[in-house]
């Protein structure tokens, strides 16, 4: 799966904003990667507070991106190229400018009032809930005409829909049918695990949050009482008749619960897009504040191994290291300064394409794009960054430290325009880009990657071909071979007598990996991001960020 962030992918008319005709002109490039499917972030009419995740009209295309005809053309062209198109659907909330909310917020007697979730003033102060992007930190915002607070898990401009009302569900299902009838191949459902709310609104104190939900509001939000019931209903009423892929963004879902969503007989969802691993190395109790010590390689191995095991015999997993909500993959999990940017990018792709589960690649990572590291709050467009900044300002918090954190963790790092070339607009636009282009595009860009046979881009294409030609990489069992105390992630994938070993040195230092495997002969080495390696009878000395894949026999027990 290749994820395209439409606003930053390709601008076709010089307004500085990526658009659908722009994506059309890059389809051959996407085909050249060897991927099967493309997921595009939301393109419906949006108020633009959260780049498409605050929808005003589900049946219109955002004019900045193009027209409905452009969308129809894109669907047809994607199919013509042998690819599949996955659309992003935001059904947990709408924009406050959506007609439903405009109506609902006008009076308690309005028939749409029940479409959203309210706390009337008669009941006193609403119970504490976290609004992730709200400058006050609260998920409740007061609305005078209805003398009620409304609930919003994200920004105040993103009121949460009331899925408990059958009419709301049936109207959302109609919207899905509208798009499915156009022939799209699948849906990625935004914040899907948050749709069901406990309407008794129990008090969630900091103590309860910590004890029961690991300090994470996402865990509480994903534990709604009717979640599975609604997913089954949506599957039965909408998804089942169409042969489409369904993906649930699954914040707050633990490995032990994953099969309750994706086991075939559950008839709910095909794939969960998990969150546990992406949170490794962020401090507990703080929403995306990086641990200054970096991330634990032990935790990396433990979490990925545990999630892999879940799908050993049932269901199927998804893997990703970057997306539009995350910093750049190489800046977050690798080392984005020379000389390690290239080798660590390659290692991370080797991981994605040799683990068990469907790999999701995020646009631009295949050129080794890096964090832009803004120094001023004005440079950021992201509602999350601004919401938290304002909150800190109000509370007298450390805004300088926050800005330093954002250089690693901020979402806009992953949203800067695609670096197609070293031209002033990076080949993305001839105009003023909506978000600054990373100045490193003069060095890091597609054009130079195409010319360099040892580039990250060529390496990614090679890995995708490799995965296609080795069923063991797709279907094979996964066995962890290295202990949690070493920064080396070593594992085997085996399938019907074919055994592949994967050794990944997740560090900027050389690492000795003691192994019972014998040194592979040159012909058995399928991937090596460093020319040459040193193998002794005791094991192998891996170079910094070295990634090796080789075919081997089943190791003897001795």
Stretch that binds Ca ion, among 6-14, 81-89, 474-482, 485-493 (CB under 5 A): 6-14
Number of residues located near ligand ISL, criterion CB under 6 A: 14
CA distance 98 to 485: 52
CB of 218 to ligand ISL, least distance (A): 3
154 forms part of the interface with ligand ISL (CB under 6 A): yes
CB of 38 to ligand ISL, least distance (A): 16
Nearest residue (CB) to Ca ion, 70 versus 384: 70
Burial class (CB in 10 A: 0-12, 13-18, 19+), 25: exposed
274 forms part of the interface with ligand ISL (CB under 6 A): no
Q: Which residue is nearest to ligand ISL (CB)?
A: 218
Q: Where are the alpha helices (DSSP H) in 452-541?
A: 456-469, 471-475
The total of other beta-carbon atoms located within 10 Å of residue 27's CB is 16
List 70, 157, 216, 335, residue binding ligand ISL (CB under 6 A): 216
CA of 77: how far to CAs of 74, 177, 311, 530, in Å?
5, 21, 34, 38
Hey, which residues between 120 and 149 contact Ca ion (CB under 5 A)?
Answer: none
Q: Where are the alpha helices (DSSP H) in 316-382?
A: 329-333, 341-354
CB of 412 to ligand ISL, least distance (A): 11
CA of 214: how far to CAs of 208, 222, 257, 272, in Å?
9, 13, 15, 20
Which residues pair with residue 120 across a beta bridge?
148
CB of 423 to Ca ion, least distance (A): 16
Nearest residue (CB) to Ca ion, 17 versus 383: 17
Stretch that binds ligand ISL, among 78-86, 117-125, 216-224, 464-472 (CB under 6 A): 216-224
Q: Directed axis angle between helix 297-310 and helix 255-262, to 10°?
A: 30
Encoded one letter per residue, x for contact with ligand ISL by CB under 6 A and - for no contact, window 71-110 reads -------------------x--------------------
Burial class (CB in 10 A: 0-12, 13-18, 19+), 131: buried
Closest residue by Cα to residue 94 from 190, 179, 161, 24: 161
CB of 56 to Ca ion, least distance (A): 19
Burial class (CB in 10 A: 0-12, 13-18, 19+), 399: middle
Q: Which residue is nearest to Ca ion (CB)?
A: 19
Closest residue by Cα to residue 316 from 253, 232, 258: 258
CB of 269 to ligand ISL, least distance (A): 16
Tokens of 424: 């002033």
Hey, which residues between 189 and 218 contact Ca ion (CB under 5 A)?
Answer: none
Nearest residue (CB) to ligand ISL, 154 versus 349: 154
Stretch that binds ligand ISL, among 2-10, 72-80, 214-222, 497-505 (CB under 6 A): 214-222
191 forms part of the interface with ligand ISL (CB under 6 A): yes
Nearest residue (CB) to ligand ISL, 42 versus 417: 42
251 forms part of the interface with ligand ISL (CB under 6 A): yes
Encoded one letter per residue, x for contact with ligand ISL by CB under 6 A and - for no contact, window 52-71 reads -x------------------
CA distance 212 to 207: 8
Nearest residue (CB) to Ca ion, 23 versus 329: 23
Query: Which residues, in sequence order, are CB contacts of 320 under 8 Å at separation 6+?
Result: 273, 278, 352, 359, 360, 361, 362
List 72, 302, 325, 524, residue binding ligand ISL (CB under 6 A): 325
Hey, which residues between 18 and 57 contact Ca ion (CB under 5 A)?
Answer: 19
Nearest residue (CB) to ligand ISL, 118 versus 217: 217
CA of 429: how far to CAs of 189, 369, 447, in Å?
30, 17, 15
362, 414 contact by CB (below 8 A)? yes
Q: How far is CA 152 from the centre of its chain?
A: 21
First to last CA, the chain: 40
Q: What are phi and psi of 45, to 5 degrees?
A: -55, 125
The three-class DSSP label of residue 214 is coil
The three-class DSSP label of residue 140 is strand
Of 249, 268, 335, 365, which is the active-site residue? 249
Nearest residue (CB) to ligand ISL, 89 versus 464: 89
Judged by beta carbon distances under 5 to 8 A according to partner kind, the member of Ca ion, ligand ISL, none in contact with residue 268 is none
Which residue reads 């994607």 in tokens? 78
Nearest residue (CB) to ligand ISL, 132 versus 545: 132
Active site residue 249: yes
CA distance 425 to 334: 27
CB of 338 to ligand ISL, least distance (A): 31
Judged by beta carbon distances under 5 to 8 A according to partner kind, the member of ligand ISL, Ca ion, none in contact with residue 11 is Ca ion
Number of residues located near Ca ion, criterion CB under 5 A: 5
160 forms part of the interface with ligand ISL (CB under 6 A): no
Of 64, 88, 190, 384, which is the active-site residue? 190
Contact residues: Ca ion, CB under 5 A: 11, 13, 15, 17, 19
What amino acid positions are annotated as catalytic residues?
A: 190, 249
> Which residues lie near ligand ISL (CB under 6 A)?
50, 53, 90, 132, 154, 190-191, 216-218, 249, 251, 324-325
């Amino acid at each position: 799966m290749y994820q395209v962030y439409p606003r930053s992918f390709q601008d076709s008319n010089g307004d500085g904003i990526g658009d659908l005709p722009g994506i059309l002109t890059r389809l051959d490039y996407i085909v050249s990667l060897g991927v099967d499917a493309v997921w595009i972030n939301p393109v419906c009419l949006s108020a633009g507070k959260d780049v498409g995740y605050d929808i005003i009209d589900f049946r219109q295309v955002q004019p900045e991106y193009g027209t409905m005809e452009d969308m129809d053309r894109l669907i047809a062209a994607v199919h013509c190229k042998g690819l599949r198109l996955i659309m992003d659907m935001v059904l947990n909330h709408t924009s406050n400018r959506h007609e439903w909310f405009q109506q609902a917020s006008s009076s308690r007697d309005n028939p749409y009032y029940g479409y959203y979730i309210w706390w009337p003033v008669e009941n006193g102060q609403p119970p504490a809930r976290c609004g992730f992007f709200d400058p006050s930190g609260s998920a409740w915002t007061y609305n005078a005409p209805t003398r009620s607070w409304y609930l919003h898990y994200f920004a105040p401009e993103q009121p949460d829909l009331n899925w408990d009302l059958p009419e709301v569900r049936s109207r959302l299902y109609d919207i899905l049918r509208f798009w499915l009838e156009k022939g799209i191949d699948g849906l990625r459902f935004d914040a899907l695990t948050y749709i069901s709310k406990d309407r008794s609104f129990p008090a969630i104190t900091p103590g309860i949050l910590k004890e029961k939900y690991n300090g994470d509001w996402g865990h509480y939000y994903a534990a709604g009482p009717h979640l599975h019931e609604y997913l089954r209903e949506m599957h039965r009423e909408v998804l089942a008749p169409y042969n489409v892929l369904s993906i649930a963004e699954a914040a707050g879902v633990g490995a032990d619960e994953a099969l309750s969503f994706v086991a075939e007989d559950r008839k709910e969802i095909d794939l969960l897009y998990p969150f546990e691993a992406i949170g490794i190395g962020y401090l507990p109790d703080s929403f995306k504040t990086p641990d200054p010590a970096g991330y634990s390689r032990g935790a990396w191995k433990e979490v990925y191994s545990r999630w892999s095991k879940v799908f050993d015999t049932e269901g199927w997993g998804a893997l990703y290291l970057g997306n539009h909500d995350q910093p750049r993959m190489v800046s977050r999990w690798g080392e984005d300064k020379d000389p390690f940017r290239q080798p660590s990018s390659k290692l991370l792709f080797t991981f994605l394409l040799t683990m068990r589960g469907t790999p999701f690649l995020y646009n631009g990572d295949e050129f080794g794009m890096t964090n832009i590291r803004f120094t001023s709050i004005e440079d950021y467009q992201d509602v999350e960054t601004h919401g938290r900044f304002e909150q800190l300002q109000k509370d007298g918090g450390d805004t300088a430290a926050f800005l330093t954190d954002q250089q690693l963790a901020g979402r806009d790092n992953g949203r800067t325009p695609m670096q197609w070339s070293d031209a002033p607009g990076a080949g993305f636009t001839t105009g003023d880009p909506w978000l600054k282009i990373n100045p490193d595009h003069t060095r890091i860009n597609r054009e130079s990657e195409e010319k360099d046979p040892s580039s990250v881009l060529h390496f990614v294409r090679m890995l995708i071909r490799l995965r296609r030609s080795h069923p063991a990489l797709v279907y094979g069992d996964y066995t962890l071979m290295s202990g949690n105390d070493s920064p080396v992630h070593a594992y085997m994938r085996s399938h019907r007598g074919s055994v592949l070993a994967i050794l990944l040195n997740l560090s900027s230092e050389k690492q000795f990996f003691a192994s019972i495997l014998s040194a592979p002969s040159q012909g058995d080495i399928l991937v090596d991001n460093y020319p040459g390696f040193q193998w002794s009878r005791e094991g192998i000395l891996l170079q910094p960020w070295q990634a090796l894949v080789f075919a081997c026999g089943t190791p003897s027990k001795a």
